Structures are given as structure tokens and as C-alpha cells.
């Protein structure tokens, strides 16, 4: 049976790049997004092995309906990619509290909803894996990106916990941790970190890592976290060994606005 992948927030950006790559690799691809029209346009561009649908990731009932529809169409659900997310940047106190709450609702509750609703389908599949979109912002809390960074720390925690808990089902739960990616989400960002480090990754770079993580053999040595790009890799590995004071000082330096 042809394997399948279900991607949230797949109508554009990283999600669309994931959909294109996996389609090229012969997968049945689920392109689900709150922008159903744009999702359908991408599915039509790709071909008959792509299916699009409406999904507000903050709505659990939407997840139930979308996954039931997709699994019936695809035959089984093999890979779930929790990609949907939003970002607000700028001074914490100058960002509306509703924006902070919306970030948590979509970036965190969206992942919780997706994993919870997908488990019955993943348990029935011949092969099953979950890939969550975390971020290099989950390595150390980021100034000017407070709620986004916090949401990605939560995604990291969800990933680590479920990767252990779902071993009993033979399901690995992994994440990818890119730095800033050239998508609409980072346009006009008000954060010192992006000014100092720039935007070097493309959506296709993240998609390539997700494909690698999704298809890697399930060995004991297969890591849970997968930094994307040289800078994210350096930040991740250094943070594991350097003192907290050094991590704080380096982030103070990187967060200074020009």
C-alpha cells in the first residue's frame, strides 16, 4: 500500500514544500489548512494522489473530521506532520494579550489536538510516525518572540513525552528545529535575533529534514530532536553543554536590535 502523510497548515510555506516533496516521493498527501481554497489549489497542482481539506487546528472537531476523511481516502494514516503555526514579534508588552493567547492556542493546542485525534489511526497503520514543527526558539527563550518561543518549548515537551509514551505502540514522535525560514511568517519581523542572524533557510530545507526524519530507521540512536541548518545545530549542541550564564549572555547579544 502506498504510504500517506497528513500535513496541517499545508497550503503555503513550509507545509506546501513538505507536500510537494512527499508527493514527488510517491506518497498520498493530505493538504489541510484553514485556507481551504488555497489548499485545494495546491492539491490540484500536484495531482490525483493529493487531497485537500479544511482544518482549523485549534478546533478538535475539525481534526476529527479531517482525519476521518483523509484516512478513508488514503487507506491508512502513516505520517502526521503538525506544521501549522503563527508568530507575533516585537516587545512583549506592546503585543496584544489576545495575540499571545492565539499563538498558544494554535501552536500548542493545535499539536495536542492533532496528536490526540490521530492516535487511533496511527495505531492501526502498518508504519506510523509523527513529526512536529518545533524551532530553534525552543533552545533558549527568545526576546521579542516570547509567546512563540514558549509555544515551541511546549511542542518540544510534547514531542519528548509522546516519543517515550508511544513506544508501546511502535510510534516515534520526532520534531524538527529550524532557525528562521524564508516564508511569509517572518516578513517584517520585529526581533533582534532575526536582524543579527538573518534568514538563511528555505522551506525546502525544512521539508528535506522532515523527509529524512520520517523515513529514518527506528533505531535506539535515532534522536528525537532534529535541528535544521548549521546555525541551529550549533546552538542546539552548545546549549546542552554550556553554562546557563553563557547561554543567557549569548542570547542577550543576539537579541540586540540594530
Question: Which pLDDT tens digits describe the chain residue by residue (258 residues)?
Answer: 799 999 999 999 999 999 999 999 999 999 999 999 999 999 999 999 999 999 999 999 999 999 999 999 999 999 999 999 999 989 999 999 999 999 999 999 999 999 999 999 999 999 999 999 999 888 888 888 999 999 999 999 999 999 999 999 999 999 999 876 454 555 555 454 554 444 468 899 999 999 999 999 987 789 999 988 646 555 655 566 555 544 444 544 444 545
- Residue given cell 514531542 in the structure block: 159
Cell representation of residue 52: 485537500
Q: How many domains does the chain have?
A: 1
CB 47 within 8 A of CB 23: yes
Catalytic residue among 23, 32, 148, 236: 148
* CB burial readout 94-103, b (16+ within 10 A) else e: ebeeeebeeb
Q: Per residue in 6-55, pLDDT tens?
A: 999 999 999 999 999 999 999 999 999 999 999 999 999 999 999 999 99
Q: Grid coordinates in use for 247?
A: 547561554
Q: What pTM, to 2 d.p., does this model score? A: 0.86
Domain that holds residue 20: 4-254
27 catalytic? Reply is no
For the chain, how many residues are written?
A: 258
- Asked if 192 contacts 258 with a C-beta cutoff of 8 angstroms, the reply is yes
Residues 100-108: contacts with CB under 8 Å, at least 24 apart = 100/146, 100/147, 103/147, 103/148, 103/151, 104/147, 104/150, 104/151, 104/154, 105/58, 106/57, 106/58, 107/148, 107/151, 107/152, 107/154, 107/155, 108/151, 108/154, 108/155, 108/158
Q: Which of 173, 179, 177 is nearest to 222 (CA)?
A: 173
Q: Identify the CATH number of the domain in which residue 117 sits.
A: 3.40.50.720
Amino acid at each position: 500500500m502506498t504510504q500517506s502523510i497528513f500535513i496541517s497548515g499545508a497550503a503555503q510555506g513550509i507545509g506546501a514544500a513538505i507536500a510537494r516533496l512527499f508527493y514527488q516521493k510517491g506518497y498520498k498527501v493530505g493538504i489541510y489548512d484553514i485556507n481551504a481554497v488555497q489548499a485545494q489549489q495546491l492539491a490540484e497542482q500536484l495531482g490525483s494522489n493529493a487531497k485537500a481539506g479544511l482544518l482549523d487546528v485549534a478546533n478538535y472537531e475539525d481534526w476529527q473530521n479531517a482525519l476521518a476523511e483523509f484516512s478513508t481516502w488514503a487507506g491508512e494514516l502513516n505520517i502526521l506532520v503538525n506544521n501549522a503555526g503563527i508568530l507575533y514579534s516585537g516587545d512583549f508588552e506592546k503585543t496584544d494579550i489576545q495575540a499571545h493567547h492565539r499563538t498558544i492556542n494554535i501552536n500548542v493546542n493545535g499539536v495536542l489536538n492533532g496528536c490526540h485525534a490521530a492516535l487511533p489511526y496511527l495505531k492501526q497503520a502498518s508504519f506510523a510516525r509523527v513529526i512536529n514543527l518545533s524551532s530553534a526558539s525552543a533552545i533558549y527563550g527568545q526576546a521579542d518572540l516570547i509567546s512563540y518561543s514558549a509555544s515551541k518549548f511546549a511542542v518540544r515537551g510534547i514531542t519528548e513525552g509522546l516519543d517515550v509514551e508511544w513506544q508501546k505502540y511502535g510510534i516515534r514522535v520526532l520534531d524538527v528545529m529550524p532557525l528562521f525560514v524564508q516564508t511569509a511568517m517572518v516578513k517584517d519581523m520585529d526581533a533582534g535575533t532575526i536582524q543579527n542572524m538573518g534568514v538563511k533557510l528555505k522551506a525546502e530545507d525544512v521539508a528535506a529534514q522532515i523527509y529524512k526524519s520520517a523515513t529514518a530507521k527506528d533505531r535506539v540512536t535515532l534522536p528525537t530532536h532534529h535541528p535544521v541548518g548549521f546555525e541551529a545545530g550549533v546552538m542546539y549542541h552548545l546549549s546542552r553543554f554550556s553554562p546557563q550564564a553563557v547561554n543567557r549572555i549569548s542570547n542577550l547579544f543576539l537579541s540586540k536590535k540594530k
